[in-house]
A = this chain, B = another copy of it.
Amino acid sequence: MPHGPVRWPLVYFDCHTTEQAGWTVVAVVGELDLASVPGVRSSVVAATQNRKPPYVVLDLAGVEFIDSMGLGVVVGARKRVYAVGGELRVVVATERVQRVFALSGLDTLLPLFKSLAEALVPPTGGVGDGA
Tell me, yes or no, whether A2 is within 8 Å of chain B by CB.
Answer: yes
Give the residue of B2, B7, B8, B31 whose beta carbon is less than 8 angstroms from that of A14. B2
The answer, yes or no, to whether A105 is at the interface (CB within 8 Å) is no
Please give, as numbers and ranges, the residues of chain B lying within 8 Å of A8 by CB-CB distance.
9
| Distance from A14 Cβ to chain B, minimum over Cβ atoms (Å) | 7
In the complex, what residues of B have CB within 8 A of residue A14's CB?
Answer: 2
Q: Does A83 contact B (CB under 8 A)?
A: no
Answer whether residue A4 sits at the interface, using C-beta atoms and an 8 A cutoff.
yes
A126 at the interface (CB under 8 A from B): no
- Asked if A11 is an interface residue, CB under 8 A from chain B, the answer is yes
A12: contacting residue among B1, B9, B11, B65, CB under 8 A: B1
Cross-chain pairs A/B with CB under 8 angstroms, 22 sampled: A1-B10, A1-B11, A2-B14, A3-B10, A3-B12, A4-B7, A4-B10, A4-B12, A5-B7, A5-B12, A5-B29, A5-B30, A5-B64, A6-B7, A6-B10, A6-B11, A6-B30, A6-B31, A6-B64, A7-B7, A7-B64, A9-B9
